[in-house]
């Protein structure tokens, strides 16, 4: 069975090329992926990400539960209205999924997980929740929109009333507000300013049209992928999976080992890995010669070892190919990538490549 978001007909009307994404009919682009990419870097673009899954965790042990199933510590969220990115791990420290947790109110959190991992995430969370006083509910009644770009907030605000406008203008990064049945967060997956909004699915067609009227361009999942890769943000299933730990995925910053008496799933395995030494890391690659880096191409560092590209693309902002690659931890600053039987030199950098419209590595 193929799933469709409430905006499917809007996408068709806008001339979208529709592809299957994790069992969903989603727009890959509406004409030109590169133009949509530039719109987000320079102005404002909008993505339908309603295939992603919002799950509410409510109950007196909601926080205790999330502190146990997530590698980041939701106790860092001291006030409602703040969000936190992190990973959900298995006992081996492997990544089941990456997600954002929103602290809505005392005893009430919301997490948003990936579409492709929906079923296993729900099964895992449900199983772990048995020992806690927490109720989980999958919010299939919600749609999710992301408006991203330097003009995204300003343009999106026009659609709301004065009071909401003031609240949105005052939002700090990784903060959110709840207004009636909406949750509006200053978060994103593009490396630009913007908002991610959860709203009733019944209202989303109306607001999609309002945001377009406010000058925000529809953008497909193709541009979303090149934008996130430029921003050095991992994609679950490509750059990380259940056989990979956060330490091997450039995500050590999302693992809260302090306080050291917090028990969480995967902790013992991560501590063991730290003791033994982390042997692989996720780095950025830049190809200055003509060609395009792609997932699964081989990375060769003479005298050090080999690795593999996990995501690669042509960067529309930089005009050259970029990639994320899993390589030996002691990687040199230069190495080679095998493209169609030829070895081409690439530079090794620490991601991101682009933030707020500009190149950020030397």
Partner 1 sequence: MSNIPSELKYTSSHEWARLEEDGSVTIGITDHAQGLLGDVVFIELPEVDTEIEAGAEAGVVESVKAASDIYVPLSGTIIAVNENLMEKPEIVNSDPYGEGWMFCIQPLDEEDLNELMDADDYAEQVASEEH
Which positions lie near partner 1, rule CB under 8 A? 17, 28-29, 32-34, 222, 226, 290-292, 294, 313-314, 316, 340
Smallest distance from the beta carbon of 353 to partner 1, in angstroms?
Answer: 15
CB of 27 to partner 1, least distance (A): 12
> Which CB, 101 or 190, lies closer to partner 1?
190
- Spatial CA neighbour of 230 closest among 357, 113, 106, 74: 357
| Residue 193 Cβ vs partner 1, minimum distance, rounded to whole Å | 24
Find, among 219, 183, 204, the residue nearest to 14 by Cα: 219
CA 147 to chain centroid, in Å, comes to 14
Q: How far is the CB of 250 from partner 1 (least distance, A)?
A: 23
Q: How, if at all, do strands 217-218 and 45-48 pair? A: parallel
Instruction: Name the phi and psi angles at 279, rounded to 5.
Output: -90, -20
Contact criterion met (CB below 8 Å) for 199 and 156: no
15 in Cβ contact with 32 (< 8 Å) = no
In order, the DSSP letters of 39-98 are HHHHS-EEEE-TTSEEEEEESTTHHHHHHHHBSS-GGG--STTBEEEEEEE-TTS-EEEE
What is the token pair recorded at 357? Answer: 């419209």
Q: Write down the least CB distance from residue 49 to partner 1, Å.
A: 19
- Of 50 and 313, nearer to partner 1 (C-beta) is 313
Nearest residue to 24 (alpha-carbon basis) of 42, 47, 1: 1
Is the Cβ of residue 294 or residue 359 nearer to partner 1 in the bound state? 294
Asked whether the beta carbons of 147 and 155 are under 8 A apart, the reply is: yes
Considering the complex, state which of residue 269 and residue 292 has its C-beta at the smaller distance from partner 1. Answer: 292
Residue 120 host element (H or E): helix 118-129
Q: If we measure between CA atoms, which residue out of 95, 342, 202 comes closest to residue 85?
A: 95
Q: Which is nearer to partner 1, 334 or 342 (CB)?
A: 342
- Which residue, 187 or 313, has its beta carbon nearer to partner 1? 313
Q: Shortest Cβ distance from residue 33 to partner 1 (Å)?
A: 5
Cross-sheet strand order for the sheet of 83-89: 83-89, 95-105, 108-113, 53-58, 135-138
At closest approach, how far in Å is the CB of 35 from partner 1?
8
Q: Which is nearer to partner 1, 270 or 309 (CB)?
A: 309
Give me the least distance between CB of 292 and partner 1, in Å please: 4
Nearer to partner 1, 295 or 329 (CB): 295
């Amino acid at each position: 069975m193929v799933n469709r978001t409430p905006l499917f007909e809007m996408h068709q009307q806008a001339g979208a090329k529709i592809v299957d994404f994790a069992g969903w009919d989603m727009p890959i682009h509406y004409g030109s992926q590169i133009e949509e990419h530039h719109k987000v870097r320079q102005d404002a673009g909008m993505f339908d990400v309603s295939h992603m899954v919002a799950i509410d965790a409510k109950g007196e042990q909601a926080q205790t539960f999330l502190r146990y199933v997530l590698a980041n510590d939701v106790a860092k969220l001291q006030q409602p209205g703040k969000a936190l990115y992190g990973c959900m791990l298995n006992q081996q420290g492997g990544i089941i999924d990456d997600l954002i947790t929103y602290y809505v109110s005392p005893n009430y959190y919301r997490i948003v997980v990936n579409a492709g991992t929906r079923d296993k995430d729900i099964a895992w969370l449900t199983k772990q929740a048995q020992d806690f006083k927490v109720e989980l509910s999958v919010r299939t009644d919600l749609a999710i929109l992301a408006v991203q770009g330097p003009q995204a907030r300003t343009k999106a605000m026009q659609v709301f009333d004065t009071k909401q406008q003031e609240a949105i203008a005052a939002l700090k990064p990784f903060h959110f507000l709840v207004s009636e049945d909406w949750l509006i967060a200053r978060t994103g997956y593009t490396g630009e300013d913007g908002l991610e909004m959860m709203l009733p699915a019944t209202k989303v067609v109306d607001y999609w049209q309002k945001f377009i009227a406010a000058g925000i361009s529809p953008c497909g999942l193709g541009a979303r992928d090149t934008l996130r890769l430029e921003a050095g943000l991992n994609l679950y299933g490509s750059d990380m999976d259940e056989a990979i730990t956060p330490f091997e995925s450039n995500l050590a910053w999302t693992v809260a080992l302090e306080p050291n008496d917090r028990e969480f799933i995967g902790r013992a395995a991560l501590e063991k890995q730290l003791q033994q030494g982390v042997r692989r890391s996720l780095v950025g690659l830049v190809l200055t010669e003509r060609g395009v880096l792609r997932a699964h191409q081989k990375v060769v560092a003479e005298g050090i070892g080999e690795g593999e590209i996990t995501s690669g693309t042509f960067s529309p902002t930089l005009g050259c190919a970029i990639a994320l690659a899993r390589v030996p931890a002691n990687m040199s600053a230069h190495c080679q990538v095998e493209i169609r039987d030829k070895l081409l030199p690439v530079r090794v950098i620490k991601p991101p490549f682009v933030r707020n419209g500009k190149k950020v590595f030397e």
